[in-house]
Amino acid sequence: IQKMVQKVNHIPEKFSELPNVAAICVYPVFISLVKDSLSDKTVKIASVGASFPSSQTFTDVKMLEIERIIGEGADEIDIVLPVGKFLEGDYEEIFKEISKIKALMGKKHLKVILETATLEDPVLIRRASLLCLEAGADFIKTSTGKNDAGASPEALYIMCEAVKDFHASTGEVRGIKPAGGISDSSTAIMYYLIVNEVLGNEWLNSDRFRIGASRLANNLLGEKYF
């Protein structure tokens, strides 16, 4: 973890023409280590919570973990849609749970991971996207990266359409994040172009669009940096 943080700290001097990464994401036990080691304060500290990556525990347990993560100093938290409950149609309980987590987090960014490869059906991906956005997700994200299948262009397109429709109906801006299996520049460009096509140029910044992939950073920098 320290080695990764030091590499991030040195990006501005080694690659002065490039912006730094948007965030470093670690398990909760490493938040304090990153906080103490990170010198580039433009980089956010993100962590995973609420029974990541399965999301299969009680809401009160999830809330306790989120509260602890906030106390440790995380700027952003990634949680996973409880896919089992979603597939059972328990939308109201999911909405309440995500809303409670967002209320506890306040202005800190909440990213909700849909595990789109598990949902598969385009209708379900759109439904899950809108449910999470309505519940308060600041970002919706394709995948945890813990399953065999990660992001797909089709899933991201559907999610972008949901973000666009949500913005049109509410005026609220939410972010989008493909993750899982994105390790080369051509794949990254494909996702970049999807976001540009559906959401437009104003979404092409780290406040609205992220790619979750440290291997991609290595390849883009042209060396085994991370």
> In the prediction, which pLDDT does 225 show?
54
- Helix H or strand E segment including 117: helix 116-119
Q: Reply yes or no on whether 36 is catalytic.
A: no
> In the prediction, which pLDDT does 147 show?
73
> In the prediction, which pLDDT does 223 show?
56
SS3 (DSSP) at 113: strand
Q: Reply yes or no on whether 177 is catalytic.
A: yes
Residues of the chain below pLDDT 70? 148, 222-226
Catalytic residue from among 7, 78, 111, 138: 78
Catalytic residue from among 7, 62, 102, 141: 141
The first and second tokens of residue 44, run together, are 């956010």
**Amino acid at the residue 147:** N
Q: Reply yes or no on whether 7 is catalytic.
A: no
Catalytic residue from among 7, 102, 111, 177: 177
> In the prediction, which pLDDT does 77 show?
98
153-175 in b/e form (b: 16+ CB < 10 A) is eebbbbbbbbbbebeeeeeeebb
> In the prediction, which pLDDT does 76 show?
98
> In the prediction, which pLDDT does 226 show?
52
